Chains A and B, each alone.
Chain A
Amino acid sequence: AQKITQTQPGMFVQEKEAVTLDCTYDTSDPSYGLFWYKQPSSGEMIFLIYQGSYDQQNATEGRYSLNFQKARKSANLVISASQLGDSAMYFCAMSRRALTFGSGTRLQVQP
């Protein structure tokens, strides 16, 4: 069975600062995908970034980067230069045959 753990229920960050959202996972599958999604108050889940279990390099997408440490089974999301619009719930997820989500981290960006 797959499990995703997000230990930070809520976080605050100042505008323009970087922030790291933690995610650890557990799986016995050798092949899997790790994803981060953003969910604003409107409810829609917005795809941010993907990391494959066999990828050698950390994924980056604009201001988002995924710090993938396979041996530690962690896949932390780093947001550089936070913006007010980044305030939302952030979910880490793992995929083998379906997405398994963590409980989420509520990020609040303060001016």
Chain B
Amino acid sequence: KAGVTQTPRYLIKTRGQQVTLSCSPISGHRSVSWYQQTPGQGLQFLFEYFSETQRNKGNFPGRFSGRQFSNSRSEMNVSTLELGDSALYLCASSLWLAWGTDTQYFGPGTRLTVL
């Protein structure tokens, strides 16, 4: 079974631009979560989508948004990029059986650099 895929793998943008990252979950997985990883803040939860609905959201500004399509694929968008948005963005998918027991499987990540 194919794993979680993320595109693009690397991205360079300038301040003020916007960016869209894509994630395809493992076949059959309906929950997709996004995380941001930076050297200073570590791994932080952005949001989670299940059946095309945002079910949970982390503490990030409204510039960060996402959506999920009917085939469970997900995109996240960052508008008005800032230097501090430079990070590894990780997508994870899961079957979702119950809160707390759900094993999330991660993709390879998209490394975003904002100049």
Contact = CB atoms under 8 A, between A and B. Distances in A.
Interface of A: 29, 31-33, 35, 37, 42-47, 50, 52-53, 91, 93, 95-104
A53 B101 CA distance: 9
B45 A100 contact: yes
A46 B88 CA distance: 15
A50 to B, nearest CB: 6
Contact of B108 (A42, A52, A53, A102): A42
Given A97-B56, A99-B33, A100-B45, A43 B103 contact: no
B101 A99 contact: no
B79 to A, nearest CB: 23
B100 A91 contact: no
B: contact size bracket:
20 to 34
A71 B92 CA distance: 30
Contacts of B109: 43-44
A110 to B, nearest CB: 25
Given A44-B107, A45-B92, A33 B100 contact: yes
A58 to B, nearest CB: 16
Contact of B111 (A43, A52, A95): A43
Residue among A46, A91, A95, A102 having the largest count of chain B Cβ atoms under 10 Å: A95
Contacts of B16: none
Contacts of B28: none
A102 B37 CA distance: 12
B100 A32 contact: yes
Interface in B5-51: 33, 35, 42-43, 45, 48
A78 to B, nearest CB: 19
14 contacts: A29-B100, A33-B100, A33-B102, A44-B108, A45-B106, A47-B103, A95-B100, A95-B102, A95-B104, A99-B33, A99-B92, A99-B104, A100-B45, A101-B42
B90 interface: yes
Contacts of B111: 43
Given A43-B109, A44-B109, A33 B33 contact: no
